[in-house]
A and B are shown apart, each in its own frame.
Chain A
Amino acid sequence: MSWLTEPLAFGFFRHGLIVATLSGALCGLIGVYVTLRGMSYIGHGLSHAIFGGAAASALISLNFYIGAGVWGMASALAIGRVTRRRVIGSDAAIGVITTASFAFGIALLGLYGQVKRSIDAALFGSVLGVSVADVWVVAGVTVGTAAIVFFFYRKLLFTTFDPEVADVSGVNTARMDALLMLLLSASILATMKVLGVVLIAATLVIPATVARMLTNSFARMLWLSTSIGAVCGFVGMVVSYHLDISSGATIVLVGASLFAVVFALSGRKGLRRAAGLDTHDAPVVGPQPVASRGDRP
């Protein structure tokens, strides 16, 4: 057990371990909605957009969460504004605005900051900068997100599965969409330090995809994805310490390894389930109707 107890002697590692485990669970939980709603690219883009705000706030000594949070919000609003003009699609708008914000952050750090180390830490995650305050922030966002998912479970599920019918059934789908965006933004913001800008998207997608290969039930998928995310975060942190590589990269590699194992064991059935995460496949229907002479296409 020394492989586990040895790093626990360091305060920074204890903080990092708690944050990584909670971050994994948080991303696993919110990742279920992200993948089923086809929002993976939004998650990827938002993390890149927030990087610009993180760089700017570091340079002017502004609190990371305030600076990066405001920047992320501004990016999301800009994406919405560009998309509403209908000249370009939302995916293109996300691509332009978030990568521009990311590039702006790189440029700022290049001009004024400690370029190599800061960029590496921000891109790929690091436990060295995790403070007690960061632990509380991640814990707060995780508990808050879990509470919201718990109490809005039915409405979030209905809105994710069938927004039009949910709307007719009295669910304020616009509010649920906004709530999910808020949760996603808060999750990215809270987990960015440990997971890193580039790798957050993977922690949103991998646990949910693995969980989808294991179950056909939404409720079970939520539990599984959260648990898988937490385990990947915990194991990834320990491996990161022993191999002396970035925490974000090891967490993602642990998740990817798990994906490979489950994929190999669940075979074609699991693959079919996972492949349907972002698609609206044609249904399996019974025999086709007998052609009626009066039927028209």
Chain B
Amino acid sequence: MVESLVRLERVTCAYDGTPVLVNVDLEVGAGDFTGIVGPSGSGKTTLLRAVMGTVAPVAGTLRRRPGLRIGYVPQVETVNWSFPVTVSEAVLMSRTSGRRLPWPSVAERAEVADVLARLGIAGLGRRHIRELSGGQQQRVFLARALLRRPELLLLDEPTSGVDVRTRHDVLHLLADLNAEGLAVVLSTHDLNGMAAHLPYLVCLNTEVAGRGTPREVLTPEVLERTYGAPMEVLEHGGMPVVVDRYDEADNVLRFRRGTAS
């Protein structure tokens, strides 16, 4: 039996009395790779925060394996890019236990160099975090999370604001890490570029609207429950592809309005 790292049972979370997650069940085991999909404001980030323990549920039970090491990669939009910190400083930041001296040991320097090389950003250690491309910035924070040697890696919208090539690279990188035994949970609103390639999905819109493999949950019914809008699912190369369902008249009308304005 696969060991459970985190288990949420009927968890409800609220901000100032307003529920943002209601009766959510989620179990993450060692080696799992789970994508949480849903529209903006559906509670994806709150669910990740509940798993991390920075948001306390107001109802339900949440069990985390004692001593579980969690690595977290925040949304790039939440990072203070003007903060005076180089790539090496940002990565090394997560090494807070053990050594008390401000400067890194030789072993820590080597470790940082290794993780940067592995993520394809070797040689950028002295650069300021703002001087990187979107994909490189994402990797810096992935490197920071990996330096903690986590058993569970949480990523909040890891492909938000990056190009298609970077999205592919990030996806393959996470798949490689998962293949080595790292449990990965990520949130995304990117259905075709990201979610359709993951082994397991949880569709969220405050409540869980569906869960299973992409083929099981990327269906018009589940997607309409999740996004509140009609969507069609096509088949392409053996993969489900989600497309918007437009009413033709409505589409034309919008176009005419657009050209008239």
Contacts and interface: CB of A to CB of B under 8 A. Distances in A.
A283 B84 contact: no
Contact of A283 (B79, B86, B94, B95): B79
Given A285-B76, A290-B164, A294-B192, A221 B97 contact: no
A200 B244 CA distance: 59
Contact of A151 (B49, B72, B100, B130): B100
Contacts of B167: 289
Give the most central of B83, B96, B100, B163: most A CB within 10 Å: B83
Contacts of B144: 165
Interface stretch (A11-19, A55-63, A273-281): A273-281
A295 B97 contact: no
Nearest to B104: A154
A276 B163 contact: no
Interface residue range, chain A: 35 or more
Contacts of A171: 96
A275 B82 CA distance: 8
B56 interface: no
A164 B54 contact: yes
Contacts of B132: 284
A36 interface: yes
Given A286-B133, A294-B242, A297-B40, A161 B81 contact: no
Interface in B76-92: 76-86, 89-90, 92
Interface in A121-145: none
B33 to A, nearest CB: 20
A162 B129 CA distance: 14
Contacts of A284: 81, 130-134, 137
Contacts of A169: 72, 94, 96, 148
Contacts of A120: none
Contacts of A294: 191-192, 231, 241-244
Contacts of B130: 283-284
A289 B82 contact: no
Interface residues of B, number: 62
Contacts of B90: 161
Contacts, number: 166
Interface in A194-230: 212, 215-221
A295 B96 contact: no
Contacts of B162: 285-286, 289
A280 B100 contact: no
A151 B144 CA distance: 21
B74 A162 contact: yes
Interface string B166-193: 1100000000000000000000011111
Given A162-B74, A165-B72, A283-B77, A219 B100 contact: no
Give the most central of A158, A162, A220: most B CB within 10 Å: A162
B72 A296 contact: no
A289 B161 contact: yes
Give the most central of A157, A218, A280, A294: most B CB within 10 Å: A294
Given A286-B166, A289-B167, A294-B192, A161 B83 contact: yes
Given A220-B84, A294-B241, 6 more contacts: A161-B85, A161-B90, A276-B82, A284-B81, A285-B133, A289-B159
Interface of A: 36, 150-151, 153-155, 157-158, 160-162, 164-171, 212, 215-221, 272-273, 275-277, 279-290, 292-297
23 contacts: A36-B84, A150-B102, A153-B101, A157-B85, A158-B96, A162-B74, A164-B49, A168-B52, A168-B70, A169-B94, A169-B148, A217-B128, A218-B85, A276-B80, A279-B80, A282-B77, A284-B81, A284-B132, A290-B163, A292-B190, A294-B231, A295-B189, A297-B40
Closest 5 CB pairs of A and B: A276-B82, A294-B242, A285-B134, A153-B102, A286-B134
